[in-house]
């Protein structure tokens, strides 16, 4: 999966999302993984590692959640 930058045009064509976990993330509870995946896909422009894969009807957005993403999401959660 080659890392790319956020592409607003492709975002309009996203038909599927996929979440991967950087090995440095370590063990997280299923509950944490669920909310983190949902949160990172809610703002894909902020993701550290993002790519798009061509699908038959559009694109699949693939985000690899990094430690930096998790730190940012927890900061955002605590400040709201």
Per-residue pLDDT tens digits for 38-63 = 999 999 999 999 999 999 999 999 99
Query: Helix or strand or coil: residue 36?
Result: helix
- Per the CB < 8 A criterion, the answer to whether 7 and 51 are in contact is no
Q: How confident is the model at residue 1 (pLDDT cuts 50, 70, 90)?
A: low
The H or E element that residue 41 is part of is: helix 30-42
Q: Which two tokens stand for residue 59?
A: 């694109």
Measured between alpha carbons, how far is 11 from 43 in angstroms, rounded to an integer?
A: 11
Q: How far apart are CA 61 and CA 19, in angstroms?
A: 8
Q: Structure pTM?
A: 0.90
Which two structure tokens, joined as six digits, stand for 68?
């930096």
């Amino acid at each position: 999966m080659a890392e790319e930058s956020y592409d607003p045009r492709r975002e309009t064509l996203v038909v599927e999302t996929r979440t991967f976990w950087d090995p440095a993330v370590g063990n997280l509870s299923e509950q944490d993984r669920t909310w983190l995946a949902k949160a990172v896909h809610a703002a894909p422009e902020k993701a550290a590692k993002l790519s798009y894969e061509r699908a038959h009807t559009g694109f699949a957005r693939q985000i690899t959640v990094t430690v930096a993403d998790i730190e940012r999401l927890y900061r955002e959660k605590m400040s709201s």
